[in-house]
Amino acid sequence: MTYADWLREDRLPHIYCAGCGNGTVINCTLSAIDTMGWRKEETVFVSGIGCSSRAPGYIITDSLHTTHGRALAFATGIKLANPALHVVIFTGDGDLAAIGGNHFIHACRRNIDLTVVCMNNMIYGMTGGQGSPTTPTGALSTTTPYGSNEAAFDLCGLASAAGANYVARWTSYHVKELTHAVRAGLESPGFSFIEALVQCPTNYGRRNKFRQVIDQIEYFKSHALLVQKADRMREEGKEIPSDMFVIGELAKRNRPALGVQR
């Protein structure tokens, strides 16, 4: 089998814009799931609202496309009621960190056995490009027309601090690494959080000097700093440039987890 065997072909074509990074993340996630040897009938996808959250509708398994921000609360009910089900959540930065922020930290605290893949495009794409909790300071959006004057959330830092067992960040450029990270998250008991930075050419890129799709992917490539290197720089007392972001496996531990099948 391949990732394609998990797609609901009668729902295609999808709604994503040309050049969108979400398809890459869906591909990586399904590829990782395919290597797990899971059966479709024991796998459930859950999502909230936004571009990322449309993904379960294109997948052949049972899926629940819920209300804005609440996917993790719905998924908690599914997983606790039937721990035999593998529950994977697709979400985005607005869905997870703004309206769903409280559910996010509590799901991490419970360390419930869910795998969350967050497509962080740093913008509200579906509603036309408004600022989100991960919009970088200074970035332009329809609701930050003079540049965002707020600080952005570090989603992985949040997940780590709140108690998730597995936390990793990659981008739509790092396809192999992202696939491996999702696989590691699926294997890990407890709460797994995989953040994938994705380009949104329609609503982020064109307002923020990424004229071509490839420009933002190039930016991910050139500004990503592997966690091992970042650690070494800190040890050496070197400052990490403010426009760089850390990628890699950011937490891996074995806190007691909820909802793991006995």
Partner 1 sequence: MQGNTACAEGALAAGCRFFGGYPITPSTEIAEDMASRLPKMGGVFIQMEDEIASIAAVIGASWTGMRAMTATSGPGFSLMMENLGFAIMTETPCVVVNVQRGGPSTGQPTMGAQGDMLQCRFGSHGDYSVIALSPASVQEMYDLTAQAFNLADRFRVPVFLMADEIIGHMREKLIIPDSVTREERKPLTKGDLPFKASNDLIPGFPTFGKGYGVHVTGLTHDERGYPCATSPTVHEELVKRLVAKVELARDTIASSDIINPDAKTVFISYGAPARTVQQLLHDLRSNDIGHLRLKVVWPFAESLLDRFPNAESFIVPEQNMGQIAREIERHTDRSVIPVPKLGGALHSPAELAGVLENLR
Omega cis (within 30) before 189:
no
* Cβ at position 38, least distance to partner 1 in Å: 12
Which CB atom, from 67 or from 130, has the smaller least distance to partner 1? 67
Element housing 28 (H / E): helix 22-35
* Cβ at position 89, least distance to partner 1 in Å: 11
Which CB atom, from 116 or from 181, has the smaller least distance to partner 1? 116
How long is the chain? 262
Phi, psi of 173 (to 5 degrees): -75, -35
* Cβ at position 256, least distance to partner 1 in Å: 15
Residue 161: CB atoms within 10 Å: 14
* Cβ at position 236, least distance to partner 1 in Å: 41
What whole-number distance in Å separates Cα of residue 64 and Cα of residue 61?
A: 10
DSSP code of 69? Answer: T
Element housing 79 (H / E): helix 71-81
Which CB atom, from 8 or from 234, has the smaller least distance to partner 1? 8
The site for partner 1 (CB under 8 A) is made up of 8, 11, 40-42, 44, 46, 56-57, 60-67, 70, 73-82, 84-85, 102-103, 106
Which CB atom, from 60 or from 175, has the smaller least distance to partner 1? 60
Contact by Cβ (8 Å): 139, 208: yes
* Cβ at position 97, least distance to partner 1 in Å: 15
Which CB atom, from 8 or from 253, has the smaller least distance to partner 1? 8
CA torsion 188→192→197→201, rounded to 10°?
Answer: 110
Which CB atom, from 14 or from 223, has the smaller least distance to partner 1? 14
* Cβ at position 79, least distance to partner 1 in Å: 8
Residue type, 147: G
